[in-house]
A and B are shown apart, each in its own frame.
Chain A
Amino acid sequence: MTLVDLKLLYRDWRGGQLNLVVSALVLAVMVVSAVSLFADRVERGIVQQISQFLAADLAVGGVIAIEPAFKDQADALSLNTARTANFRSMVFAGEKSHLASVKAVSSAYPLRGLIEVANSVSANNVQALSTGPQQGEAWVEPRLLNLLNLELGDQLSVGYLDLTITHLIVNEPDRGTAFGAAGARVMFNYQDLPTTQLIRPGSRASYRLLLSGSETSIAQYQEWYRQYEKNEVRDGEAGGESRSDTGLQSTAAPHYQLLTPQGAQEQMGETFTRGRAFLLLSGTIGVLLAGLAMALASHRYAGRLTDQIALMKAWGQGASAVRKSQAIRLFAIALFSTLLGMLLGWLVHYLLLELAKELLNIELPAPSWRPWGVAALTGFVCVIGFALPALWHLPTIAPLKVLRRDLPSSLVGHGKRLSIGILALLILTAWYSESIVTAVLFLAALFALFAICGIVALQFLRLAKGLGAWQGSYLRLGLANLWRRRQHTLIQLVGFASTLMLLLTVVGMRTSLISEWEAQLPSDTPSHFLFNVANSEVEQVKGLLQEEDLKTTQWYPMVRGRLVAINGVDITPERLARSGGLSREVNFTQTDELPPSNTITQGQWWQQSPDGFEFSMEEEVASEIGVNIGDEITFSIGGLTMTAKLTSLRSVNWQSMNPNFYVIFYPGALDKYQPNWVTAVKAGGLANNQDQSLMYQAPFVGKMVQQFPTAIVLELTDVVARIRDVITQVTQGLELILVLVLACGVMVLFASIGVSFDERLRENAILRTLGSSKKVIIGALTVEYASLGAISGLIASIGAEIVLYFVQTRVFDLSAQWHPMLWLVGLLLGVVLITALGLLRSREIITVPPLESLRRLA
């Protein structure tokens, strides 16, 4: 039996009856497997890296120097220890400088894992070393040599420290997830750190105490740390007196964190589950469209099978035998298409990896079974959810149908088919996103989008019908066709319009948002930020800038700290997390003058010196975290606490690109914390910087780093370029996925032309016999498809423009702007694509002579 079933299947395939069902299914599986293979490999690559994340068994991390008590406890448990400090700093050689990602490591580093180094740029003889740089040595990432025009053995300065470059770093065990977009790595010995003079109280750095040893000692240390943390919390509730048995100041606690490999992995895991879900959900739109195409194509396929099944039953095949034969054929279709889809998906995922190459500077392991599972599930669920309902009635066809062809078949109703299809989608999206709630919300949003597109499309269709009514000949014919089959027309319109809309939106974001943002920057927008300027240096730096005839914004003293209590009550991490801006260490400043791009929205800016400490907060973070005028807030800065009263809320125009702060104190409050100074400099325009060589550096930068080696100069151009890179790579990946989704939309077009194919064949044959020329028929079809494309393109452009409007005004704080290119591309793409493909699919309608058409349909 099986052999006969496969034979029958092969003959259906040969006759082209399976083309659409199979291609739609292959596409759906391809999209899903490409996306999930990509996500899976990236995720595993990163997790693999995190498992060596610590270069140790355990680490205490902090944004202030690690207190001795932590090391003492480690010594008491005879654990091995090492120290690292990470921060950003200018490194320079001669005139050239680079904002590097600097890491100072003690001699015992790394405690676990090895540092991979090479001794020449081209070398492939990579060495793995178990210890880091000696004093006086700098180990650097190879690209730094290019950036600064250096060679191995040359001198490199970091702050006031001069080093010799001795090794090139290929990989380090605790590199973490550092993306290629960050500054180049410079590693030197921890004992050289003081010489740099880079680390001052207000400086931004992250410190680690690495620990390794026996499992029991590590466990004991973890237990000790938990105990210490608990004491902190209890103390906080009791009113904040410091405890003595840990020997630590209680207020330092929020600045520290115990890092375990598992913890880091879990954190990354969450991020990646979300990323993967996002990508897969965009793929879901493709699955939905492919499913729609499959359902339509299966309907037609079922129609063609009707005679065959009726005959088979007349010849004595029982219903169960037919059902079995049907099941075998469908299984074969599902298996074949899924495997083919997986194979193509495997190829496409390389394209995605290629696009994201620079973003993901990691080694990629082979994928796990999961993406294959996702792909297989997609294939089979699609067959069951979309194809099977259309074919379900076949075994129940009455054998009498061979004599009475008008006998009705008991088709599965449209409502039932719709419910089954939606259920299938729900199962898939829930599996993709690992959350029923996400799946339901996503599908609801998607269907809402479809509904809106549908309503708009219907209006356009009405309009087109009205237009056709007083136009001649084929224009009327084409538009009338569109209206007559409006159910299918609407399905196609919605599919195309929403996919094109997403595509246009993503393309719009990639091509115009950043440049529009740049174009809208006021002409006095600063080009450079100066950070980490010491108190003693401020006047000299001002002098240097004056000599260079450069304007700066106001100078602000800056310290880093975090919120710890509101009105005497500790802030829970959950509450802090509600505000993205305040959940980490943030910059505080003090000034008596309200910064220019700020406006007071509540309370009062200080007029005369207050009794205690007062501060002003940015209104959005204030409302996120839930604080009001008059609240007493406790801050922890560099391990010391200070309480101040909130006396005003400000709105901030972030677009101004001036130094802006969430929290501003009344002058004097921060003096004892030895703040560093920050300002923004205007040196040359931003507008034409794309033409300039990447190596270009404003002349004052060289002088700055030479004279003030501990100051940090941040070029806005660099930052913008980096953001642009990230956006480009992310959106290009998305675009690729959406192009595949669009291909699924084309399947819907083909399928719905297929459904009306016989009808069209007959109509056109009749028209031709009645004397219509071939030209009229081609014209009418062209009008029909072109209008379909134009309406889709129009809706897509409208939608994309609306989305971009919100992104511009709400996310980027820009003034709204039209995107005529988008409309042009949308319309053109819609018209050309749909007309070309539609005519291609309809060529038989045009070319088959009318007599043969009629005979074929007899």
Chain B
Amino acid sequence: MNDTVLRVNAVNKVVPSADDDLAILQDISFSLQQSQSLAIVGPSGAGKSTLLGLLAGLDVPTSGDIWLGQHKITAMNEEGRARVRAELVGFVFQTFQLLGSLTALENVALPMELNGQPDAQARARDYLQKVGLGQRFKHYPKQLSGGEQQRVAVARAFACAPKLLFADEPTGNLDQATGEKISDLLFELNQQADTTLILVTHEQRLADRCERVITIDGGRLVSSVGNASVVGDEKEHQDNNSQQPAAMI
């Protein structure tokens, strides 16, 4: 239960830019136990998504090391990391990322089908029921509301039973009430499935529900706190921001 499932050591990310190299992340180190939940917070452009990508093995740091489970993914090539992702990792995205040509059921079943899981359909049904979409199997994403779409995405992520679930602003595109429901769902399923949850968020309420919160600012880890609110002065500004997209639709 208390195994370290994620370990980050002195990670830097530098990208080439027009005149100078740009350091997006500098000297990030922390670790996380199995079944814990972690929120990554910070102002826009701080490097949160970049960090999440590195943690999930979607990208490689310029220097430093990352361990996912037993795997030192920074020492692996892309094919190796792909195997680790297939084994351990699930995702939920701000923009849902459902495939428009697939029904809800097919969307949930797809990653399992790709892994050759024989009971993909049954599990997909099961998880759609769990997120309260038992009546919507045959509906296409465009026939679902934003919240429903994100619920499908959550079902899709959990149906694969990942050890680690990465979520980049899972409620960012939703109004507050809907966002609330999605985060309820996330934590509920997280509890059931014993998953390690790592999420990037602007929403204080969501961050508050995580056991740990780390704050990134200007690419640096400025605080790492267990189960407490630490981003007070940012809060109002962030909330306004997160309302913006929902108001547009």
User: Interface of A with B (CB < 8 Å)?
Assistant: 1, 4, 7, 11-12, 14-15, 17, 304, 307-308, 311-320, 398-400, 402-405, 854-856, 858
Contact = CB atoms under 8 A, between A and B. Distances in A.
Contacts of A856: 142
B196 to A, nearest CB: 17
Contacts of A17: 101
Given A7-B113, A404-B49, A856-B142, A315 B86 contact: yes
Nearest to A858: B249
Contacts of A316: 82-87, 89, 115
A403 B93 contact: yes
A854 B115 CA distance: 34
29 contacts: A7-B113, A11-B101, A11-B102, A304-B101, A307-B97, A307-B99, A314-B56, A314-B58, A314-B85, A315-B85, A315-B86, A315-B89, A316-B83, A316-B86, A316-B87, A317-B82, A317-B86, A318-B79, A318-B83, A319-B82, A398-B59, A402-B91, A402-B97, A403-B49, A403-B52, A403-B58, A403-B168, A405-B95, A855-B142
A4 B58 CA distance: 24
Contacts of B83: 316, 318
Interface string B66-104: 000000000000110011111101010101010111100
Contacts of A4: 113-114, 116
Contacts of B168: 403
Nearest to A312: B114
Contacts of B113: 4, 7
B43 interface: no
B58 A15 contact: no
A400 B81 CA distance: 12
A347 B53 CA distance: 55
B111 interface: yes
Q: Which 10 A-B pairs have the closest CB atoms?
A: A316-B86, A15-B101, A316-B85, A400-B58, A318-B82, A315-B111, A318-B79, A399-B58, A400-B59, A316-B82
Nearest to B100: A15
B153 to A, nearest CB: 11
B106 interface: yes
Interface in B134-173: 142, 160, 168
Interface in B95-138: 95, 97, 99-102, 106, 111, 113-116
A121 B159 CA distance: 80
B101 A402 contact: no
Given A15-B100, A403-B168, A320 B79 contact: yes
A320 B168 CA distance: 27
Given A307-B99, A320-B79, A398-B59, 4 more contacts: A307-B97, A315-B111, A317-B86, A403-B52
A781 to B, nearest CB: 23
A393 to B, nearest CB: 15
Candidate in A14, A316, A317, A318 with the most chain B CB atoms within 10 angstroms: A316
B82 A308 contact: no
A402 B87 CA distance: 18
Nearest to A12: B101
Contacts of B91: 314-315, 402
Interface residues of B, number: 33
A722 B52 CA distance: 81
A185 B49 CA distance: 89
A315 B109 CA distance: 12
A329 to B, nearest CB: 13
Contacts of B87: 316
Contacts of B93: 402-403
Candidate in A1, A311, A398, A854 with the most chain B CB atoms within 10 angstroms: A311
A406 to B, nearest CB: 12
A12 B99 CA distance: 10
B99 A311 contact: yes
B169 to A, nearest CB: 10
Contacts of B59: 398, 400
Contacts of B249: 854-855, 858
A402 to B, nearest CB: 6
A14 B249 CA distance: 28
B79 A319 contact: yes
A177 to B, nearest CB: 56
Nearest to B141: A856
A313 B91 CA distance: 12
Candidate in A11, A308, A402, A403 with the most chain B CB atoms within 10 angstroms: A403
B220 to A, nearest CB: 20
Nearest to A316: B86
A403 B53 contact: yes
B78 A318 contact: yes
A7 B102 CA distance: 11
B53 A400 contact: yes
Nearest to B79: A318
B215 to A, nearest CB: 19
A11 B142 contact: no
Contacts of B56: 314
A399 B82 contact: yes
A388 to B, nearest CB: 21
B149 to A, nearest CB: 11
B157 to A, nearest CB: 10
A5 to B, nearest CB: 10
Interface string B30-63: 0000000000000000000100110010110000
A399 B89 CA distance: 13
Contact of A317 (B52, B53, B106, B114): B114
Contacts of A315: 85-86, 89, 91, 111, 114-115, 160
A298 B147 CA distance: 32
B115 to A, nearest CB: 8
A304 B99 CA distance: 9
A311 B85 contact: no
Contacts of A855: 142, 249
Interface string B219-241: 00000000000000000000000
Nearest to A855: B249
B27 to A, nearest CB: 21
A304 B100 CA distance: 9
Contacts of B84: 316
Nearest to A7: B113
A360 B82 CA distance: 64
Contacts of A317: 82, 86, 114
Given A11-B106, A402-B58, A855-B249, A319 B78 contact: yes
A609 B49 CA distance: 108
A402 B111 CA distance: 14
A308 B99 contact: yes
Contacts of A399: 58, 78, 82, 85
A320 B78 CA distance: 11
Candidate in B53, B58, B89 with the most chain A CB atoms within 10 angstroms: B58
A315 B81 CA distance: 10
Contacts of B100: 15
A24 B93 CA distance: 36
A316 B101 CA distance: 21
Contacts of A12: 101
B109 to A, nearest CB: 10
A12 B58 CA distance: 26
A14 to B, nearest CB: 7
A856 B160 CA distance: 28
Contacts of B102: 11
A403 B40 CA distance: 15
A479 to B, nearest CB: 32
Contacts of A402: 58, 91, 93, 97
A315 B91 CA distance: 8
A404 B85 CA distance: 18
Contacts of B106: 11
Nearest to A3: B113
A715 to B, nearest CB: 68
B90 to A, nearest CB: 8
A320 B79 CA distance: 9
Given A404-B53, A855-B249, A1 B116 contact: yes
A315 B84 CA distance: 9
